[in-house]
Structure 1
Amino acid sequence: MDTQIKSPIEMLAHWVETRGDEVYLRQPIDGQCKDFSWRQVQAQVQQLAGALRHLGLVPGDKVALLSKNCAEWFICDLALMHGGYISVPIYPTANADTIGYVLEHSGAKAILVGKLDHWAEQEAAIGGDILRLALPYDTMPAQYQWQQLLNLGEPLIDAPLPTAEQTMTLIYTSGSTGKPKGAIQTFGSYGWTCQAVVRDLQTNTADRLLSYLPLAHITERVAIEGSSFYSASQVYFVESLDSFVTDIKRAHPTVFFSVPRLWSLFQQNIIDKIGMDKLNFLLKLPVIKSLIKRKIHKGLGLQDARLLGSGSAPIPPSLIHWYHSVGLDICEAWGMTENSAYSIINYPFDAAKIGTVGRPIEGSQVRRGADGELLVKSPGLMSAYYLQPEATAAAFDADGFFHTGDLCEIDADGCVSITGRVKDNFKTAKGKYVAPVPIERQLAQDAHVELICVIGSGLPHPVALVQLSAGATLQPREEVRASLKATLDSINPHLESHETVDAIIVVDEPWSIENDVLTPTLKIKRHVLEQRFSARVEGIRGGKVVWEDEI
Structure 2
Amino acid sequence: MSDTKTLIENRPPSVAGLFIERVAATPDAEAYRYPVPPASGEGPDDWKSLSWGQAAVRVYAIAAGLIALGVRAEERVALAAATRVEWILADLGVMCAGAATTTVYPSTNAEECAYILADSGSRVLIAEDAAQLAKARERRAELPDLAHVVVIETADAKPADGDPDGWVLSLAELEERGTKYLEQHPEVVKERVGAITAEQLATLIYTSGTTGRPKGVRLPHDNWSYMAKAIAATGLVTKDDVQYLWLPLAHVFGKVLTSGQIEVGHVTAVDGRVDKIIENLPVVRPSYMAAVPRIFEKVYNGVAAKARAGGAAKYKIFQWAAGVSREYAKVSQDNFRHTGTASVPFALGAKHTVADKLVYAKLRQAFGGQLRAAISGSAALAPDIGFFFAGAGIHILEGYGLTESSAASFVNPGEAYRTGTVGKPLPGTEVRIADDGEIMLRGPGIMDGYHGLPEKTAEVLESDGWFHTGDIGELSVDGYLRITDRKKDLIKTSGGKYIAPAEVEGQFKAVCPYVSNILVHGADRNFCTALISLDEAALLGWAADNGMEGKSYADVVASPRTQELVDGYVKQLNEGLQRWQTIRKFRLLPRDLDIEHGELTPSLKLKRPVVEREYKHLLDEMYAGAREA
TM-score, L = length of structure 2: 0.79
Change (3 A) 1:433 1:19: closer
RMSD across aligned positions (CA): 2.8
Change (3 A) 1:3 1:198: closer
Amino acid at match of 1:307: A
- Pick aligned residue for 2:467 from 402, 427, 438: 402
Amino acid at match of 1:136: E
How far the C-alpha of 1:29 sits from its partner, in A, is 1.1
Q: How does 1:432-443 map to 2 (within 5 A)?
A: 434-443=499-508
Change (3 A) 1:310 1:285: closer
Q: Distance in 1 between matches of 2:510 and 2:461?
A: 36
Q: CA-to-partner distance for each residue in 1:61-82, whole Å, 9 max, x for gaps?
A: 1110000111111111111111
Q: Which residue of 2 aligns with 1:506?
A: 588
SS of the equivalent of 2:414 reads: coil
Q: Which residue of 2 aligns with 1:150?
A: 175
Q: Which residue of 2 aligns with 1:547?
A: none
5+ residue gaps, structure 2: 1-7, 38-44, 160-167, 183-187, 309-314, 325-350, 547-558
Q: How does 1:42-441 map to 2 (within 5 A)?
A: 42-114=56-128, 124-125=138-139, 127=141, 129=144, 130=146, 131-136=148-153, 141=158, 143-152=168-177, 153-155=180-182, 156-160=188-192, 161=194, 162-222=196-256, 224-238=257-271, 240-275=273-308, 276-281=315-320, 284=351, 286-287=353-354, 289-290=356-357, 292-301=359-368, 303-350=369-416, 353-426=418-491, 434-441=499-506
Amino acid at match of 2:46: Q
CA contact (8 A) 1:455 1:526 kept: no
Q: Distance in 1 between matches of 2:364 and 2:203?
A: 37
Q: Distance in 2 between matches of 1:77 and 1:337?
A: 17
Amino acid at match of 1:154: Y
Change (3 A) 1:137 1:256: farther
SS of the equivalent of 1:159 reads: helix
SS of the equivalent of 1:183 reads: strand
Change (3 A) 1:265 1:487: closer
CA contact (8 A) 1:59 1:83 kept: yes
Q: Distance in 1 between matches of 2:102 and 2:601?
A: 18
How far the C-alpha of 1:4 sits from its partner, in A, is 2.6
2:604 counterpart of 1:538: no
CA contact (8 A) 2:109 2:135 kept: yes
Change (3 A) 1:366 1:15: closer
Amino acid at match of 2:365: K
Q: Distance in 1 between matches of 2:232 and 2:77?
A: 28
Q: Which residue of 1 aligns with 2:527?
A: 461
Q: Flag the structure with higher helix content.
A: 2
CA contact (8 A) 2:285 2:370 kept: yes
Change (3 A) 1:151 1:455: same
Count, aligned residues: 541
2:473 counterpart of 1:445: no
CA contact (8 A) 1:259 1:313 kept: yes
CA contact (8 A) 2:233 2:427 kept: no
How far the C-alpha of 1:397 sits from its partner, in A, is 3.1
SS of the equivalent of 2:49 reads: strand
TM-score, L = length of structure 1: 0.90
Amino acid at match of 1:354: T
Change (3 A) 1:23 1:125: farther
Change (3 A) 1:368 1:253: same
Q: CA-to-partner distance for each residue in 1:122-143, whole Å, 9 max, x for gaps?
A: 7634556421001136657561
Change (3 A) 1:201 1:116: farther
How far the C-alpha of 1:371 sits from its partner, in A, is 1.2
5+ residue gaps, structure 1: 545-551
Name which of structure 1's ranges 241-250 and 226-235 shifts more when overlaid on structure 2.
241-250
- Pick aligned residue for 1:527 from 600, 604, 609: 609
How far the C-alpha of 1:165 sits from its partner, in A, is 1.4
Q: Distance in 2 between matches of 1:117 and 1:159?
A: 35
Q: Distance in 2 between matches of 1:145 and 1:264?
A: 39
CA contact (8 A) 1:176 1:523 kept: no
Q: CA-to-partner distance for each residue in 1:240-288, whole Å, 9 max, x for gaps?
A: 3443333322221111111111111112222233344232456747346
Name which of structure 1's ranges 356-365 and 64-73 shifts more when overlaid on structure 2.
356-365
CA contact (8 A) 1:67 1:116 kept: no
Name which of structure 1's ranges 13-22 and 397-406 shifts more when overlaid on structure 2.
13-22
Change (3 A) 1:323 1:458: same
How far the C-alpha of 1:24 sits from its partner, in A, is 1.3
SS of the equivalent of 2:532 reads: strand
Q: Distance in 1 between matches of 2:576 and 2:285?
A: 44
Q: Distance in 1 between matches of 2:46 and 2:131?
A: 20
Change (3 A) 1:186 1:71: same
Amino acid at match of 1:41: A
2:522 counterpart of 1:515: no
Name which of structure 1's ranges 85-94 and 112-121 shifts more when overlaid on structure 2.
112-121
CA contact (8 A) 2:129 2:151 kept: no
Identity within the alignment, %: 28
SS of the equivalent of 1:176 reads: coil
Amino acid at match of 1:11: L
Q: Distance in 1 between matches of 2:437 and 2:130?
A: 41
Amino acid at match of 2:58: Q
CA contact (8 A) 2:133 2:151 kept: no
Change (3 A) 1:2 1:330: closer
Structure with larger Rg: 2
SS of the equivalent of 2:176 reads: coil
2:54 counterpart of 1:40: yes
Change (3 A) 1:345 1:418: same
